[in-house]
Every structure is written in structure tokens, then in C-alpha cells.
Structure 1
Amino acid sequence: MKKSINAEKNYSKLLFNVIVLMVLTSLGMSCDSVVEVTDPDIVTPESLNSEAGIQTLRAGSLGDLAVAMSGSAAGHGATTGLIIMSGLMADEYTYSGTFPTRREADTRNLQDINSDVNTIYGNLHRSRTGAETTVDLLADFGGNPEIESEMQSVTGYAYVMFAETFCGGVPFSKAPADGGELIYGEPLTTEEMFNTAISWFDQAAANAGSNANLANLARVGKARSLLGLGQIENAAAEVAGIPTDFVYNIEQSDNSFRQENGIYIMSTVRRQFSIADGKGGNGLMFRSSMDPRTPWDGGTEFGQDDITLYYNQLKYDSSNVPVVLASGTEARLIEAEAAANADDAATVEDIHNALRATIGLSDLDLSGISGDDLLLAHFSERAFWLFSTGHRLGDLRRLVDVYGMMPSNVFPWGPYFKGGEYSSTLKFLVPQSESNNPNYLGCLD
């Protein structure tokens, strides 16, 4: 389809705005991260004037999402992703390295100049802006509903991850498709981030058409957002009928350092993130349970810091193992949460035992369990199924924010094993680098 003359003239402005937005969200990162930014001349305004250009933007957005979520082998000491850093904030990992920024996450004593958090923040925004730009540009090519749907879901998941793991106050800036000036975003509350995610997922579901995988990707994302808003029954209704064998992966590859699975690199290769066991008193027994969903080895040598016994996760056992973003298993877990919220132990038990049977685990007996105990039993099962996929910090926050449990009863708490104590902070802070945005207010909550 031939584009209008105005659209043709606006490509240069649009690309410039996208690049400016990416640079702004990158400020404050380590020098290694900055020098790895792709040369903008590789994707020129002229190259976007084609279907191939759209595919380039799509691939770039998916690549940024992978780096934001799982990290990569690129960078000095590799690049941390949201999954492993949020796992430190929760009870999935303990830190066996020496980087102070990562120890901050392990104790939750975070500063707003934490370079690892800032890197994750920038990569999530880059993925979001790339996806949004792809959707905007598709309009000039007559549209492509399936690509639009996928990119709308990617945008939605970026909002979800910000809402689940960061404090309220994250701004979302925009590079307009008409080539106008960069629009600095206003800070959004956590509730507003979840609601914005739902809007993107609704658009994604509408564009998915007959593509069941894309429709299910959007539905699981919307349900995840509804959980965050405390709309538990609506979340379960959203995922009803999604096949349990549905999976949408964040793909990893050993084609380049950037594409490698950063969880594998940071744990198995660099021995910096050790699978936890009863962390801070409240943490789940991810090791000693000997559960096949959290495989591990080690305990015979020290980690990178030479003082902490190292226990290696084996869920990601190579640099090209994908990371699950959404699945039918998660759909069933959302239905189980609705049953637990309704104090229906029999249904919770049935759902979990059907899932456990798929990998040969023995049945759970939840008879006689109710109230908070039933919720915690469900959340424990959920934690093993979704281990190291970026869910656990959001789940612990939901136990506090939605179900009213005390943080000191669900988060790692009390003395920290390397000295000091765990902080009462439960969220990543909006990085100080966002102060380049005149609307920046820091954390609202």
C-alpha cells in the first residue's frame, strides 16, 4: 500500500524521537550498557519504509523484551534482567556475587541510582516504545493484525512488569507516529499501570483474530493485570478455556552475547545468583523440597564472592533455553487462585493435582485448609510452577496489597545472612535517571 506524502516525511522525525526516548531511558546506566546501544544508522528512516522495516522493529522490540526480562551475556559481568533481580527481591535467589547493586536487591535496601535496576528500567521502556512504534507504523502499510496483536501484548506486558515490580510513579513517554515532539509521560500509579495494560491486551485480543496463540497471550496478560487489581474472579473468567498446553516463549539464542539467556549466564556461568532455600525465614524451600520444578545442583563450592556456598539452578541449563512469558499452566493457576479466594479448597486441590499429574508429582491433600492457609498453599504451588519467570515478586506484593497479609509474614525478613537486615522496601524504585523527564516525581507510594 502506498503511503501518503506526509507519512513519508514524518519517518525521519519519528525515528529520531524513538532514538531520543531510548537514550533518555538509558541515562544513568553503566558505561558498558551505554556503549552497547545499537548504532541508530543500522535502522535508517528509509529502511523503515517497507514491510522488512516493520519486521526489523518487531524483532528489536522482542529482543529488548528478552534482555529486559532474562538479561544477557553482554556487558561487563553480563547484564541482569528483571527475572533474576526480582527473584532476589523475593525468595527465589540469594546473591553470591560482589556487585553492591545486586546485593541491594537481595536485601531490598535499594537506592534510586541502582544501575542494574536502571538497566532493566531502560530495557523495558525500549521494548515498549519499539512495540508501540511498530503498531503506529503498521497503519501506513494497511495494517497487519497479527503483528499488531503481538506488539500490543508486548506493550501490555511491559506495563504489567512495571506495575508488579516497580513502585507507583513510573512515567511512560511517547514518540508520536506523526513525527511531532517527544511527549514526556506523566507518572502513573500502580492501578493506572494495570488498567493501561488491560487496554493494550484488549486491543491485542481484538487483533488476534483466529490466531489462538496470540489471543491466549493477550488473555493471560489481561488476567494477570486483573489479579494485580484484585479482580480475582474476573481474572479466572478471562482465562477460562485456554488450553493447559498453551505456551508463549521469550526466545533466547547463542547467536550473540546479547541473545543469550542471562539467567543461565549469571547463575551457572558466573555463579552470582544462588537458588534459595527458606530465605529470610519466610522463603519457600526451593532446594530442600527436591521438587522437579526447581532442579538444582551444587553446594560444594563457593560462589563468585568466594564466601557463599553456591547452589546452581538447572531450570535454564543452557544459553539458548527460552523463558515462558505466558502459559496454559498459568491460566490454571489463576483459576486456582480464584477458588482459593472463594475458600473452595476442593477446587483448588483438583486444579493443582491435575497439573501435578502432568509431571508425575503426588497429589496434594488440602482438606481442612481454609482462609489465609489455603491461599498460602496455593501461592506455594504457584511459586514452584512459575519459578524464575518474573512472577514471584508480584505474587508476594499481591499477598500484601490485595489479600492484606503482613509483609513480615510473606517476604524474607529479619537478619540478612551476610550482615544487616532485610529492608521493608517491597518494590524497585523509579530510577533517578528518569528525572530527565520534567514530570518525574519519584515513587508515589
Structure 2
Amino acid sequence: MKNQLCIFDSWITKNWPACFSWRSPDGLIDFKKIFENVPDEKLCVSDCSVIEFNTHPVREVTVEEFISYWTNKAQGKDDRILYLKDWHYFKKSSENSWFTLPEYFSSDWLNEFWSLRNDLSDDFKFLYLGSHGTWTPFHADVYRSFSWSANILGHKRWWIFPPGEEKKLLSSNGQIPFDIRSIIKDRTDVKYYLVDQYSGQVVFVPSGWYHQVVNMTDCISINHNWFNATNVSHVWDHLQDQLKAVEVSTKDVSSIPGWHEECQTCLRAYAGINFEEFFSMLKYILITRWPRSSSNDDDGVSSFLKKCKSMQYTSLEVLNNAMDYELTSLIETNLKIFQTALKNPLLWRKYYTTDVKTSTWIRMHDFCMVIQIIKEFVHHETVNTLQLCNGVLQSFWSGL
């Protein structure tokens, strides 16, 4: 997938249960249906009518309070502009009940690996529910991931900027603006796309494209952040840039023992992921995309996943040990395919034909690309300093 803006029309969501179940007979949002599986959920909502310290203040409300607010606002009895966003709805209500993941977005390294982890409970699949006038400030997505946003009901307006254009909007002290609507009106030197998104349509936001979104009507949408073979290089570049920023900000204490480890702790807090987690994810993708014998391609993967999910580990280290053991077995069994893909990153293209299933060449693309990123990763100075490649595969990684 090219790193270009794309809008899919409503054909992509026309059979999604959410498009029917979350819409009431009068064409409005059906709150009863949405909240029936999570009636006691505590909801974190942003107040878009207030800006404090360059952010919208967040408050916690009950489902009952949120529905009451929505009703009162519709009747003109509440002036607040509350936005329920980044809600991990699908952790408690199966996504399969509400939508079908489009094939174009099916290779999702981020959510796939995070769903395997027992050491934390998180994902990057969200439900957004906002009344007319709610909005998200100007930003680029987490990790420089892709994102897709399916508008189940309502009308959204997007301002979307190709990479680099956001720099033209920096303030005198180098800050990204919080709200670009008034700034952009008279600027003819800035390139951007103004997109109106309607019910059923899906907007694909490429890596590193800054954007701001306003709900022109009451809206409900499903949003995912993800990355895969096509944009993992953007994610890796961004992670390195974030580490440099952390190191620069703490250079006055760089002589203290453990500084590199503390920088990784800060990186995790600042960027949401550190080098150890990133490497763990790369190893997971390598294992699950490694070509097996033709008749048992999925059996080995399924066996590995079942083993991991049955493990009651509480640290990433234990999962890493299990993955190293699995990789050792794969290397001993079929090193040749790894070496071939290492030498020829475009090997996957021979699978990109009309008579080969899309899922087959996508998996091969993942396999080829993750090898290239691992090769870059293991030779990074910080990786060596932190000894992230130590263990049973140390000599294998160092030989790449």
C-alpha cells in the first residue's frame, strides 16, 4: 500500500452489522444497542469546549451520564461538547460481531502482537462517539502508524496534510498548532486535503500525515491504528528519532550508569514503545510469516500461538525466550528461505500474481520486509549497548 491518502466508498462497509445495529429506526445513533454489553463501563470523555494546557480536559462519566448528556444537548440543555474517543470498545465486545476487517488492512502487526501479550492489556482498535461539534486536534498518529476510520453514521470533515507540510504551521517556539482551522484559512503556501466523509465511508490516513477532524453532525466511527510491511520502515525511523530526542533531553546525566536503560524507560513513556518491545514484535512477525511446508503452513503457526496464549507469563522476557526457542527450530529446519529473502527483499513479488491468493503474497511481503528491518535493528548502536540480541540466537543476529 502506497503512503497516500485514500477514501473508500460505502461499499466497503455495506454488510457490516454495526451499520445496521447501531442505527435506530429514525436514523439516529442507537445507544441502547451500543452499550448493552458494557452498561457499567466507565467512559473517559474529552470536553472539546475547553482547552487547557494545549489539550482537551478529560473526565470520567458513567454510561448513564453520557447518554443523559447527549439527550440534554440535543434539547439545547447542555452546552458542553463531550467526545468519547479512543474507547477500547472491542476488548469487551467482539469486533467480529460488528465489522469485517477489510482485506487491504488485514496485515496488522501492531494489534496482532499486542493481542498475544499477557504482560499488558492494550490494543489499538477504538470506537469514537461524538456529538455535533466534537473534534480532534491537529496530530499525526501514534508510532507513525497507518490509521483507518470507518464512519458508521454521520458526517466528518478532515484536514489532512502530506508529510512536511505541518512544519509550515509551526509556532515561533516550534510547536505544532492545536487547532489549524483559523490558521489555514489565509495560507496559500500550505498543501492539504479537505475531505468530507459520510456514513459508510472509510478514510485511510497514511504514516506521518498530520490531520484534524471535526464532527459536522453526531457521529460514530470505528478507528484502527496499525502497521505492517509497507510502513514499518516509517515506524522504525520514528522510533529512532524519538530515542534521539530523549537522549538529547537527558544528555546532562548521560555519564550516570544505567542511562541507556533509563532512556528506554523514558522512550516507552514518551513514544509508547521501546526497543525491546519493537524487537519482540519483529520476532513474532518473523515466526508467524515464516513459510512452512505447503500442506501445513498454518499448523506450525497455530501451535506456536496456542503455546504462547497458554503461558501464564508476566513479563516480556518469558515471551521472548519462547520466541527465541521457536526461531531456533525454524532456522535449523529451513534456513535457506531466510537467507534467500535476506539477499532478495523483493522475493515476495513473484507471489504477486492473479492466480495466487492475496493473503499468500501479503504474508510473503511481511516475511521479506521484517527480515530487512531486523537486519537494520540488530546493528543499531543502542541495541548492542543494551545487549538486546543476547541469548541463544546472539551469533545468528550478529551475522546478519
| TM-score with structure 2 setting the length | 0.31
Larger strand share, 1 or 2: 2
Higher relative contact order (CA 8 A, sep 6+): 1
| TM-score with structure 1 setting the length | 0.28
Larger helix share, 1 or 2: 1
